Structures are given as C-alpha cells and as structure tokens.
C-alpha cells in the first residue's frame, strides 16, 4: 500500500486552476469517451492526469495516444496495483502545485461540456465553498432532483444533518463533484480504505468545516451497466446501510441526542424493511469478489 502524498506535489507549467484526475483500471472500453468529454470543456483553465492502475488491457495505449494529441493531458502508468480507495488517493496526490480545484472523473463516466464552467462559477463566488455537486444521471435516473431549487449554497452541517435525517440526496459519486484543493489538503486520508461508501464519508469530513454548493443542472453521466463498484452493490441494502453507518459515525457531531436516536432507528428499520421485501420477491444478488472494478 502506498503512502498518501501531501496535496499538491507536482509543479505546473500552465495557468490551470483545475486539476482533473482520472483513476482507471482496465478501462479501455470507455476511456476514450471519458477523455473526450474532458477535452470538450467550455472552461479552458484545466489540466488532466490519467492514473493507470497497472491495467492489463489497452488502457495505457489509449491514454498515451490521447495525451500525445492534447498536451493538457498527461499519463502516469503505475507499476503497482492498488485497491480502489488507495488508487484514488494516489490519483488526487498527482495534481500539480498551484491547483485551486480538484475534479475526479472516473474512467467509465463522462461530464457535460459546461460541467467545469458551471461548478466553478458557483465555487469561486464564495471562498467558503469547499465542495460542489450537481444533478447527475445514473443510467436514466436523475439524482439530486429533490434539493430546493431556490438555493445553491448550504452550510456543511446542514447538508450532513439532512443526509442523516431525510431521503434528500445532496451528494453524488466522485465524478459529479468538485473539490476545493485547500479543503482536500486539510484531510488525510482522502478516501478511507475498507468502506463501501468512502466517497460519501470523505464529503462528510470536508463539510465539517466548509460550505456545499449545488448546481441545479445535469452535468455528469454515470454508467449503471458496467462492472463498477456501485453497480455491483446496488441490489443490496446499500442506501439504507451506508446512511445507518454514517449516522453512527457522524450523528453525535451534528445531531441532537433525540435526533440521533430517531435517525438510528429509522435507518435500521428501513434496512430490515428492504431486506424483507427483497426476500419476498426472491431477489438474489451477488458481488463477484474476484472481479476488479474498471474504475479502480
């Protein structure tokens, strides 16, 4: 396991404000489309690094060919395979010095052309915003649509409270988010290994001190038909389970004692309810433990 490096590490030779990282393992099928979506951004002040996690397919060749055509991209071909969380940390640590914002784009997803522009418009309007999200498509389903459309900036603890007490879905997958580099630099590790919701847990730690910005526009497409980690666990009680674990971890910080007790019972009850429903339907799910996710 590699040690997480402090952020940032590599000196930049451009005036880029955004560092985009693309962690990938055996992502040849969708990588070209992902990189093309980054190259098409209407906002131009960015640089991107593909962190190839010792892939055994054509990932390296696709990434290197793309970088040869577009100097804003560079490629790091790693000689050591790391689990997902550790590889994401390695990718984030590869951004250049002087970068103000960090965006992770997972190699089997893609972003809308105006993604960076819209997120930066909001993030730069308030220096206390440490994390920005937006609506995103997961297959054909829109996530984030129940957030109050009249608001674009939220206190971090407000988001954390609502996430523990209600079904409002503020926080998306990493591809749907933009981090202020300073907010990330205050946290170690970025992604914690051993968690099936390491992204949400990271956002909660960021929002302990920073505000949350939300763009009311679909800016990201996330695949639901691949071999990614989220696809593999979606048939389990994932939603209810991670909210219960988050309640146990962060509830004492952000909830009153009576709220904490109610939230704990709410998510336990919903886990049991969903489990019973799925047993009655005869649904059987299985995660291939030996299959590596393409976005690792």
pLDDT band at residue 145, thresholds of 50, 70 and 90? confident
What single DSSP character describes residue 176?
Answer: G
What pLDDT is stored for residue 237 in this prediction?
A: 52
Q: Is residue 295 part of a domain?
A: no
Q: Are residues 174 and 125 in the same domain?
A: yes
Q: Are residues 180 and 272 in the same domain?
A: no
Residues 12-54: tens digit of each pLDDT: 435 789 999 999 999 999 999 999 999 999 999 999 999 999 9
What pLDDT is stored for residue 127 in this prediction?
A: 97
What pLDDT is stored for residue 144 in this prediction?
A: 83
Q: Are residues 275 and 212 in the same domain?
A: no
Range of the domain at 260: 235-281
What pLDDT is stored for residue 5 in this prediction?
A: 43
Residue 147 belongs to a domain with what CATH number? Answer: 3.90.550.10
Q: Are residues 258 and 116 in the same domain?
A: no
Q: Are residues 25 and 116 in the same domain?
A: yes
The total number of structural domains that make up the chain: 2
Q: Are residues 83 and 222 in the same domain?
A: yes
The pTM of the whole model exceeds 0.95: no
Q: Are residues 100 and 168 in the same domain?
A: yes
Q: Is residue 91 part of a domain?
A: yes
Q: Are residues 206 and 174 in the same domain?
A: yes
Residues 256-290: tens digit of each pLDDT: 999 999 999 998 888 887 555 555 555 544 444 44
* CA atoms of 200 and 160, how far apart (whole Å): 10
Q: Is residue 87 part of a domain?
A: yes
Q: Is residue 293 part of a domain?
A: no
Q: Is residue 197 part of a domain?
A: yes
């Amino acid at each position: 396991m590699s040690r997480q490096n402090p952020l940032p590490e590599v000196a930049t030779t451009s005036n880029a404000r955004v560092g985009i990282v693309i962690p990938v393992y055996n992502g040849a099928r969708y990588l070209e489309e992902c990189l093309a979506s980054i190259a098409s951004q209407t906002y131009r002040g960015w640089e991107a690094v593909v962190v190839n996690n010792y892939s055994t397919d054509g990932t390296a060749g696709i990434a290197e060919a793309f970088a040869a055509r577009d100097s804003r991209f560079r490629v790091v071909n790693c000689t050591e395979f790391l689990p997902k969380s550790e590889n994401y940390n390695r990718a984030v640590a590869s951004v250049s010095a002087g970068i103000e914002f960090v965006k992770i784009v997972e190699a089997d997803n893609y972003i809308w052309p105006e993604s960076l522009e819209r997120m930066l418009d909001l993030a730069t309007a308030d220096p206390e915003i440490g994390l920005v999200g937006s609506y995103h498509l997961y297959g054909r389903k829109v996530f984030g649509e129940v957030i109050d459309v009249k608001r674009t900036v939220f206190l971090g603890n407000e988001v954390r409270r609502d996430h523990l007490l209600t079904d409002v879905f503020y926080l998306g997958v990493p591809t749907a988010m933009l981090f202020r580099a300073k907010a990330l630099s205050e946290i170690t590790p970025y992604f914690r290994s051993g968690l099936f919701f390491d992204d949400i847990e990271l956002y909660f730690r960021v929002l302990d001190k920073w505000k949350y910005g939300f763009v009311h526009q679909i800016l990201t497409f996330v695949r639901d038909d691949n071999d990614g980690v989220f696809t593999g666990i979606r048939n389990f009680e994932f939603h209810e389970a991670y909210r219960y674990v988050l309640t146990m971890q962060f509830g004492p910080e952000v909830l009153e004692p009576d709220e904490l007790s109610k939230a704990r019972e709410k998510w336990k009850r919903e886990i049991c309810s969903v489990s019973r429903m799925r047993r009655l339907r005869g649904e059987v799910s299985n995660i291939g433990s030996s299959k590596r996710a393409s976005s690792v």
